[in-house]
């Protein structure tokens, strides 16, 4: 039987300022972190940074900030101090931008 996987929490963080520019993160960038529970014991997480998905070996959320350890050991760990991020909240769903939907529909004009 295949192990069950459930998505637990999804967080959205927004970068504030340019203190993280060495990590290629700039003011206004949004980071999405998704946590998954496998069976009853193991947990994994992925982060989407600059539209690139990164598997995480470990995720630590504390009162000081968020630390991400990528699974790829060639990538450095990343600490996002609270002063450098704004927690937008937990993502419950994604709603398309109405103006983006309007652009894709044909325009009908009456004469």
1, pLDDT greater than 80: no
13 Cβ contact partners less than 8 Å away, ≥ 6 residues apart: 30, 31, 32, 33, 66, 80, 85, 86, 87, 88
Q: Residue 3: what pLDDT?
A: 57
Q: Please, what is the average pLDDT of the chain?
A: 77
Backbone angles phi, psi at 21, to 5 degrees: -65, -25
71 pLDDT band, cuts 50/70/90, is: very high
pLDDT of residue 110: 42
Question: What is the predicted pLDDT for the residue at 103?
Answer: 45
pLDDT of residue 38: 72
Tens digit of each residue's pLDDT (9 = 90 or more) over 19-64: 888 888 889 998 988 888 776 667 788 888 878 889 998 888 888 9
Residue 93 clears pLDDT 60, i.e. is over it: no
């Amino acid at each position: 039987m295949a192990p069950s996987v459930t998505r637990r929490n999804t967080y959205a963080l927004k970068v504030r300022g340019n203190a993280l520019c060495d990590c290629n993160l700039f003011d206004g960038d949004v980071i999405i972190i998704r946590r998954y529970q496998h069976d009853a014991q193991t947990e994994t997480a992925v982060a989407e940074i600059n539209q690139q998905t990164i598997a995480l070996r470990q995720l630590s959320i504390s009162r000081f900030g968020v630390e991400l350890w990528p699974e790829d050991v060639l990538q450095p760990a990343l600490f996002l101090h609270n002063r450098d991020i704004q927690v937008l909240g937990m993502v419950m769903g994604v709603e398309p931008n109405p103006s983006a939907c309007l652009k894709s529909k044909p325009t009908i004009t009456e004469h």
